[in-house]
Structure 1
Amino acid sequence: MNGLPANARDEANRAVLAETRGQYEVRLAALNKSEPPEFENVGARGDMKYSQKWLDRRDKKERLEGKIKGMQAIQGRFDRTGQGGLPEAYLLGFDPDGEGNGRVILANGNPDTADHTALYIPGTTKDLSTIAEDDGDTPSDLKRSERLWRESGRLTPGQKVSTITWLDDDAPDNVLTDAPSDTYAERGAPRLHQYLEGSRAAHTYATGDTGHTTVLGHGYGSTLIGDTAKTFVRDRDSQQVVREVGMLSSRVLEMLNIKGKSTEPGPAAAPCDASHDTSRTHQSVRHPWSLYGVGSDALEKGMKNLHNALPNQGWKVTKYGKDSSRNHNLEIMAVHVKTHTQLEETWLKGLDGHTPLLEITLYSRCFTEQP
């Protein structure tokens, strides 16, 4: 949904939130109706241990309760609109199971029309279930974003401000064993890059300019920002990048290894609106195309072929799983290690009556034309 207007994203994600919360509450109620024995006998002496069924039920119950708690916190932010001048909230992204710990992008104020936007990225152990939990004197992720909105508004009187809590990556769960690794940031950088480019596109469409955006990270969030910065701007020859992306698209088609019809338009360069410096326009080469004309079994096989082949062809797979749409389409996201070209591929199964197809987009990182 990157690049779509905030109003459209909010409407769609609020519908998903309401539907998902209802489903989780029904599942929790069903789970609470019966409880297996907590202990079971072990051996002839009558020793006792926790039963596996009881442990599985406990873990499932805690997980459901945590997800529901997070969804209630999001609804609570909706309900606080107007209190102390707090602006309308926009749910720009939501998936209770996304990236393992849940996916939430929640804005205070409309980022499409804001003069100033601040993106706040929490650090290690961030989770949907704890998004509204204070840690002693440390405010919750949602409260930090709200305080940032109030303070930013105070410093920019007469101007529109939007602050965003961004939980859309798989952050480390353990400060000591996981956080020292840059792997999580490498995987998350393409997602943040894509969000920022989409946000700029939506802002440009709504206002005619890109606005001013600041990205703030807490703890490991700052590591993610650093890795994302590597995916932006350097001098390139645009025609060389067009050829580069075109060749990579051809290799993706080969790796799919299925016979079907593909759409014809090739890659092209377009402004990515990464800067106010109009003297040297920042560009990105994009190549959106589709593969169709074969059955769902063949498309599924193509997804598996590509997933298996990408690592051997210089790509790092950053996601392979269901997207957050109602149809839970299978999605692949990857980054070409040498060129930083990004790949997004989604298997649209045609459950809504449309033709089944693979929707593929490759795009380069932003660059400036060589002088």
Structure 2
Amino acid sequence: MTDNKSDGVPFAGTSSTRDAKSAMKRVSSDLYEMIGVKGKASDNFPGVTKCPDKDAKTHFRIYHPWSFTPAAASDIDEALERLKRAMPEHGWKIVEYGPDTSKDKNINLSADHDKKKVSVIAVKMDKDDPPQLSLDLISGCYEVPDGEEADPY
């Protein structure tokens, strides 16, 4: 993500934690739609974490780990390929793509959405039973509106 501050985390704007969580859910839903194959997403909810070198009462980040399991195990490659193809059309910049250093050589896709100040790492875990995509989203650093405090939950 661009607009980096000295701590390496971009400023995402001013928001309540509740509104920022809702925005992250929408980003995750958009990614789910881009996957475009039948399957099921896990029921994980977005959470709140600290911004580096910022007051936790006034600044926060949103993270949202979730997974996608295709209805047919054979669709795992298609799920990642569809996501990879669709992301640039929806404002995402793919910054890394390829196998990781694990023994399974899982394919990792890292992407940033500069406008939404969100990054995602999608990992194709095709050796799992059942195969799945693991998606980890993280926002830039938000500041709460004047007079409010960040809700750590």
Give the TM-score normalised by the residue count of structure 1: 0.36
SS of alignment partner, residue 289 of structure 1? strand
Higher strand residue share: 2
User: Does residue 95 of structure 2 align to residue 318 of structure 1?
Assistant: yes
Inter-CA distance 319–271: structure 2 relative to 1 (3 Å threshold): same
User: Does residue 52 of structure 2 align to residue 301 of structure 1?
Assistant: no
CA distance in 2, matches of 1:227, 1:256: 34
Deviation at 1:226, TM superposition (A): 6.3
Report the equivalent of 1:355: 130
**Deviations 1:16-40, CA, capped at 9 Å, x for gaps:** xxxxxxxxxxxxxxxxxxxxxxxxx
What is the aligned counterpart of 1:275 among 53, 70, 94?
53
Residues 169-318 of structure 1: pairs in structure 2 closer than 5 A: 229=8, 231-232=10-11, 234-272=13-51, 274-275=52-53, 277=55, 280-318=57-95
Residues 32-43 of structure 1: pairs in structure 2 closer than 5 A: none
CA contact (8 A) 1:346 1:358 kept: yes
Higher gyration radius (CA) = 1
Report the equivalent of 1:342: 119
What is the aligned counterpart of 1:367 among 135, 142, 147?
142
- Size of the aligned set, in residue pairs, is 145
Higher helix residue share: 1
Inter-CA distance 246–271: structure 2 relative to 1 (3 Å threshold): same
CA contact (8 A) 1:329 1:347 kept: yes
Deviation at 1:290, TM superposition (A): 0.8
**Deviations 1:216-246, CA, capped at 9 Å, x for gaps:** xxxxxxxxx7687461465322222112111
**Deviations 1:257-277, CA, capped at 9 Å, x for gaps:** 0111211122232334x1263
CA contact (8 A) 1:292 1:357 kept: yes
Structure of greater relative contact order (alpha carbons < 8 Å, 6+ residues apart): 2
Report the equivalent of 1:106: none
What is the aligned counterpart of 2:107 among 318, 326, 330?
330
**Deviations 1:149-179, CA, capped at 9 Å, x for gaps:** xxxxxxxxxxxxxxxxxxxxxxxxxxxxxxx
CA contact (8 A) 1:319 1:331 kept: yes
CA distance in 2, matches of 1:313, 1:236: 23
Give the TM-score normalised by the residue count of structure 2: 0.81
Unaligned 5+ segments in structure 2 are: 147-153
